[in-house]
Amino acid sequence: MGVFLYENHEVCSMSPKFRIASIVFFSVISLLSIYFTMNVKGEFNFEQFFPVGDPDLDFFYEFTSEFETDDNFMLIAVKREQGIFDKAFLEKFHDLTIKAKRLPFVTESNSVTKLEYPRKTPFGFTTTPAIHRGQPEYYETDKKRLLADERFRGTLIAEDGKSAVVALKLVDNIQVDSSRILMTKLDSLVASYSFEETHYLGRPNLQVELIDLQFWEIGYSAIVSGILVTIIMFLIFRRPWGVIISLVSIAIGMLIFMGMLGATGRPLNMMAALYPVLLIIVGTSDVIHIMSKYIDELRKGKPKTDAIRVTIREIGLATLFTSVTTAVGFLTLLTSKIIPIRSFGVNAAIGVLIAYLTVLGLTTAILSLFDADKITAAATNGKKDFWRPKMLWFYHFTKDRARLVGWGMVATLLLCGIGMSMVTTDYSIASNLPRNHKITSDYHFFEAQYSGFRPYEIAAIAQDSFTVTDYEVVREIDKLENKLKEFSAIKGVNSITAAYKSVNVAFKGNRLEEYTFPDSEKTFNKYKRYVDRLPKDGMDILVSRDKKKARISSSILDVGSDTIQNIGKHIDAFIANETNSDIVQFRRTGTGILFDKNEEYVRDSILNGLGIAILIVSLFMGFLFRNWKMVFISLVPNIFPLLIAGALLGFAGIELESGVAIVFAIVFGIAVDDTIHFLSKYKISRDKGATMEEALEVTFTETGKAICLTSIILFFGFLVMLFSVNPPSVTVGIIISVTLASAVFSDLFTIPVLIRWFMKS
């Protein structure tokens, strides 16, 4: 197979017709890609972050089909520093509440200005407003009552009385286009009132803002990465044509990739900001290896045709293997249960292969038209080669200090073990929101003043002949509710018991201290007649139509996934020990639970994915080198970067969450590239009859330079992510940069030592 590839490469590289056809082909593909790039869309669906195939997900979908989703809301908090109890403010706020109901995709609108308390009179029940908007003399009394009412404090009115919320109920599973329409009209409506301060929280706002942020991040990272590569290429080649050839190849590869996304309808998700950096850097690495080898061959006195033929024969196949192994690294993300991570893995793998084909087909075609002096001004006419003495230092150090290198490997393993033992998965939403962005400040406002964003639901399922409206069942629900209220992180607990507690207050002189569950079945049945008269729309969200299921809805503050899991364990223990499962069974559910379960799968998917990647790469190495010792030698230096990445997470206190987990796939996929180039050059030199030491010296002086150059670009390229406003992207950029820097040292130090230890014969 290898010979077949070489022969075909030779034919193609010597044919002028092939060069012209290749340039024309890529020109046409580029024009088509421009058209399809316009069709690329962003996507941010919360459901994509649910773990596919999880039994809790199946139960959640079944549960919400009988009720409604728990994220079908949009909250508008309006703040007045002097307090909301002002006539002019309340009139405007009430008008917003009424008009917001007319917005598209809104099914209900509620706020404190619409609330009414039931009041029992000798003639039956009547109501009184929670806020007497047109009667300021009642404001102080209204304020005290509302702030003392656990049903509305922290949900519709802040505890300090300085802000209030308009709560919009939306259609279930609102999607991006609908969210954009709603937010445009909502922004216009809110702006017409000139409130002092407003804050948003809800699915529509997050969808729109985060998708807009995706496109901004892609454009920004592409520009910064492009500038960085331009500077580095100029420093390397110091000739306009060398820089232009490089940039054209990289830009066309990126354009074809974006066109592929548009043509196949693959949307951009929250990890899309990594695409430009990744593809530009991977493409740059391929270009440098190809161009460096071509220039070296020209300097040996070979004609351009022979130089490009040797370049393709020696570097083309090695670069193919590096591209395939990098793609394999990304494809290991398919082991994840989280759809955006799987999509990122597939897209990145395709992108890497597109970059390779572009460099092999287009770059070599253009490159073969130029002499070395037109491409680079470095180290010509007898000038001192900057890289050769540096590479020879590595060669002699590994030869003379092999034992020191061995002890360094042991010390690194010990440090990595300590760091990895400190890794945490205590994920929080706040730590992953964009820096210095309004959605982040809005999120923190609701966390501090209200019940936060994370829904926390518990399903109640009546057993045997019981229904959830029976006294015995509702009593068990009330028991669990009281337990939930013991946790300070859980807010806004609501269920069918609220109706009975509210009727109890009405029967007992509207005293809020009487907001308790009826103390006897007789009283319960008495209140039940009034509860049954409540509007069905209000009860449908709490009780299923067949009355066999009920929901306890609440929110939980963003206190970290580990803390939330600990709370869940206490609740599960209470359910198991303190509730009667013969009457009713309880089960925690909701989007918050499913988000947290993602993090539980992260560690398993990493281990599974890396195991598969190592196996596949081992097979590639076995095919390439046909020697099990070389397979072992190739794997060892690539295990160290993975361990270092894990240790960095531990020492830096960075949560191992789904967005950061892709670090390991990227690191392994890219780090193995330099190993393949190094060992391929070593094997070629040995096949030509060189001794082990002669082959190592040639490998250092020729391939070592390209490895260092590409590693420098990788290091600074991923540091571009420091400019991202998305914290996971910043983390990924830093970890990958530092880890890949360690990878090149791992290659240059460990591979020669291991070759001398294991390949003495």
Q: What is the pLDDT of residues 125-157, one digit of tens each?
A: 677 888 999 899 999 999 999 998 888 998 999
* Better-scored residue on pLDDT, 761 or 63: 63
Most confident range (mean pLDDT) of 107-121, 189-203, 333-347, 620-634 is 189-203
More confident residue, 614 or 30: 30
Count CB neighbours of 53 within 10 A: 9
- The values of phi and psi at residue 72, to 5°, are -90, 55
pLDDT tier for residue 175 given thresholds of 50, 70 and 90: confident
Judged against a pLDDT cut of 60, whether residue 726 lies above it is answered with yes
For residue 744, pLDDT beyond 70: yes
Mean pLDDT for the stretch of residues 296-311: 82
Q: According to the model, what pLDDT value does residue 51 have? A: 67
Which of 517, 514, 740, 757 is CA-nearest to residue 638? 740
Give burial (CB, 10 Å; 0-12/13-18/19+) of 672: buried
500 pLDDT above the threshold of 50: yes
Residue 10, pLDDT score: 44
Average pLDDT over residues 512-522: 88
Maximum Cα interatomic distance, the chain, rounded to a whole number of Å: 110
pLDDT at position 598: 66
* pLDDT averaged over every residue in the chain: 84
- Averaged pLDDT, 4-19: 51
Query: In the predicted model, is pLDDT for residue 447 greater than 60?
Result: yes
Cβ 12 vs Cβ 234: under 8 Å: no
Angle at CA 697, nearest 5°, toward 292 and 744?
65
Q: What average pLDDT score do residues 87-99 get?
A: 95
Query: Which pLDDT value is given to residue 9?
Result: 41
Classify 173 as helix, strand or coil.
Answer: coil
Q: What interhelical angle do 402-420 and 727-758 show, nearest 10? A: 150
Tell me the average pLDDT across 335-341.
Answer: 77
Res. 443 pLDDT band, cuts 50 70 90: very high
Confidence bin at 112 (pLDDT 50/70/90): very high
Q: How confident is the model at residue 581 (pLDDT cuts 50, 70, 90)?
A: very high
The per-residue pLDDT for 85 is 94
Please give the single-letter amino acid code of residue 759: M
Residue 3's pLDDT is: 33
| Alpha carbon distances (Å) from 608 to 304, 329, 453, 729 | 46, 12, 32, 23
Q: How many CA atoms lie within 13 A of 259 on its CB side?
A: 17
Helix H or strand E encompassing 73: strand 73-79
Residue-level pLDDT at 2: 36
**Averaged pLDDT for residues 206-233:** 82
Find which of 166-170, 307-311, 376-380, 623-627 is predicted with most confidence, using mean pLDDT. 166-170
The Cα-based distances of 602 to 463, 657, 728, 743 in angstroms read 36, 7, 15, 24
Going by pLDDT thresholds of 50, 70 and 90, the confidence category of residue 13 is very low
Q: What is the mean pLDDT of residues 163-172?
A: 92
Q: For residue range 583-642, what is the model confidence (pLDDT) as tens digits? A: 999 999 887 777 776 666 666 666 676 777 778 778 877 777 777 888 888 888 888 888
What per-residue confidence (pLDDT) applies to 121?
A: 66
For 261-285, give the secondary structure using H, E and C.
HHHHCCCECCCCCHHHHHHHHHHHH
Q: How confident is the model at residue 4 (pLDDT cuts 50, 70, 90)?
A: very low
pLDDT of residue 5: 38
- pLDDT interval class at 76 (50, 70, 90): very high
Full set of structural domains in the chain with CATH = 2-27+238-421+596-758 (1.20.1640.10), 71-208 (3.30.310), 443-589 (no CATH)
Q: Are 60 and 597 in contact (CB under 8 A)?
A: no
Average pLDDT over residues 716-732: 80
pLDDT of residue 163: 95
Cα-only R_g, the chain: 32
The three-point CA angle 192-83-430 to 5° equals 75
Query: pLDDT at residue 1 above 50?
Result: no
- Would you list the DSSP string of 630-685? HHHHHHHHHHHHHHHHHHHHHHHT-B--HHHHHHHHHHHHHHHHHHHHHHHHHHHH
Percent of the chain with pLDDT over 70: 91
Give percent of the chain with pLDDT exceeding 90.
26
- Model pLDDT for residues 235-286, shown as the tens digit of each residue: 777 788 888 888 888 889 889 999 999 998 888 776 777 788 788 878 887 8
Of 16-30, 40-54, 342-356, give the lowest mean pLDDT range.
Answer: 40-54
